[in-house]
Chain A
Amino acid sequence: GAVVSQHPSWVICKSGTSVKIECRSLDFQATTMFWYRQFPKQSLMLMATSNEGSKATYEQGVEKDKFLINHASLTLSTLTVTSAHPEDSSFYICSATDRVRGSNQPQHFGDGTRLSIL
């Protein structure tokens, strides 16, 4: 149980392209999903907190107009990197918490999306 699916796993595209990443909770409902970014040999940095049916909360320094987050249902959140540039190349990972089990459960991570902008 508690599986989070992230798609795609790898994206290579040209500079200026917009890329959408999906994060799905497969066997539970996720009120809250988190989006992290991880550069090579670095830690996970929280980008934003996504709550179902409301606007995402972005961390300081993260451009909300560049990283669009939509959490339209209890099982799906999407991150769109708009007009991506080489400096946006990174490993993007989502996580989700189980709404039914409540706040005392661990976050469940997706497999991540490796984004490479040429």
Chain B
Amino acid sequence: GENVEQHPSTLSVQEGDSAVIKCTYSDSASNYFPWYKQELGKRPQLIIDIRSNVGEKKDQRIAVTLNKTAKHFSLHITETQPEDSAVYFCAASISGTASKLTFGTGTRLQVTL
């Protein structure tokens, strides 16, 4: 089955700096890659996603890049703010979004003042 690795496990940045989280996946058939933000005790919230026919997608301060050849994708957050502090999970899915998601191990992002 699919295996998703995520790095780093913790990340501390100063407010205003950029944060980058990287994930690799094992199954070349995976074609949908969402990123979720989860605050303590709450549901995961989709912040951005990308499909395998696109190399990059951007939404304001958040961007995701996908390298299908290398089987890795990354989340980029620019101009970080304290409210960006949370745990971020990448995930991968085969055959579209109705299929099960395999999650990465998570990155705890701390944005300091």
Contact = CB atoms under 8 A, between A and B. Distances in A.
Contacts of B100: 34, 46, 49
B103 A43 contact: yes
A42 B42 CA distance: 14
B105 A105 contact: no
A97 interface: yes
A32 B99 CA distance: 9
Interface residues of A, number: 24
A93 B43 contact: yes
A44 interface: yes
B23 to A, nearest CB: 12
B96 interface: yes
Contact of B43 (A34, A42, A110): A110
A112 B101 contact: no
B97 A109 contact: no
Interface of B: 34, 41-46, 49, 89, 95-106
10 contacts: A32-B98, A42-B105, A42-B106, A46-B100, A95-B101, A97-B98, A102-B98, A103-B96, A103-B97, A105-B98
